[in-house]
């Protein structure tokens, strides 16, 4: 082998060895860099679950209003019925002057179906002293228009309750209106569901007077 061949072989071997050493150096450098990089960054773990809150529009309670003016136009009976979110109904009854001034609250009640209340067209007594509201379609509650005690410490009279207390077997069919400033007309049905007699319910004595015919 000539000197030239020997030099070429040594040169090739040197270059190969240099390449191997360079590769090892680069690999080791990258490994150290990765270890340093990951060690430098904070490692954060979390098992927290995000809660997404979806805004819900507030439900606005529906309010129904009804009113009845007295025959002479001097007084006004007003009912406000609020439809509550729990399915119940809140009633507020007030009396006032015909223009809506001097308002006085006479009755409030929260009920569930099928119980109901209403303002009848003939609610006012002829002298505007008394007023009645309809309960469950047939019964009536009688009040003093000022909201004061009507008699005997009672704020109102329940007509159906008065019939039961008097031992009257006929059931109230409808309270139709006023026969005089102190007499409320009550139609009835018999226990056999036949047409019964009419009665006068007297205020403030709570007397019940049977009539010969039905109004």
What is the model's pLDDT at position 212?
A: 85
Q: What is the pLDDT of residues 6-61, one digit of tens each?
A: 555 565 665 555 554 555 554 455 555 455 434 444 444 445 555 555 555 556 78
Q: With contact defined as beta carbons under 8 Å apart, do 133 and 117 qualify?
A: yes
Residue 160, both tokens: 């159906």
**Beta-strand runs (E) in the chain:** 62-69, 75-83, 89-97, 104-111, 117-118, 130-135, 139-144, 156-158, 171-180, 183-189, 195-202, 208-210
Across 193-197, average pLDDT: 93
Q: Taking the model in full, what pTM does it have?
A: 0.72
Residue appearing with tokens 């406000």 = 80
Residue 84: phi, psi to the nearest 5? -75, 155
Q: What is the pLDDT of residues 46-96, one digit of tens each?
A: 455 555 555 555 567 899 999 999 999 999 999 999 999 999 999 999 999
212 SS3 class: coil
Identify the bridge partners of residue 67 per DSSP, sorted by sequence position: 78
- Residues 6 or more apart whose Cβ sits within 8 Å of residue 104: 94, 95, 96, 146, 147
H or E, element range at 6: helix 3-40
């Amino acid at each position: 082998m000539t000197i030239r061949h020997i030099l070429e072989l040594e040169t090739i071997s040197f270059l190969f060895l240099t390449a191997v050493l360079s590769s090892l150096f680069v690999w080791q450098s990258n490994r150290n860099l990765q270890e340093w990089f990951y060690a430098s960054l904070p490692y954060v773990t979390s098992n927290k679950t995000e809660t997404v809150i979806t805004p819900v529009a507030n439900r606005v309670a529906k309010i129904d209003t009804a009113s009845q003016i007295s025959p002479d136009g001097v007084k006004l009976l007003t009912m406000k019925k609020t439809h509550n979110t729990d399915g119940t109904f809140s009633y507020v009854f007030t009396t006032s002057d015909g223009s809506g001034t001097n308002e006085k609250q006479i009755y409030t009640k929260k009920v569930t179906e099928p119980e109901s209340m209403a303002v009848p067209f003939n609610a006012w007594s002829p002298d505007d002293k008394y007023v009645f509201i309809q309960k469950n379609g047939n019964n009536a509650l009688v009040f003093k228009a000022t909201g004061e005690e009507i008699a005997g410490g009672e704020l109102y009279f329940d007509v159906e309750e008065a019939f039961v207390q008097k031992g009257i077997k006929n059931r109230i069919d409808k309270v139709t209106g006023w026969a005089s400033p102190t007499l409320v007309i009550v139609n009835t049905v018999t226990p056999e569901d036949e047409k019964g007699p009419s009665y006068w319910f007297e205020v403030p004595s709570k007397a019940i007077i049977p009539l010969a015919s039905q109004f």
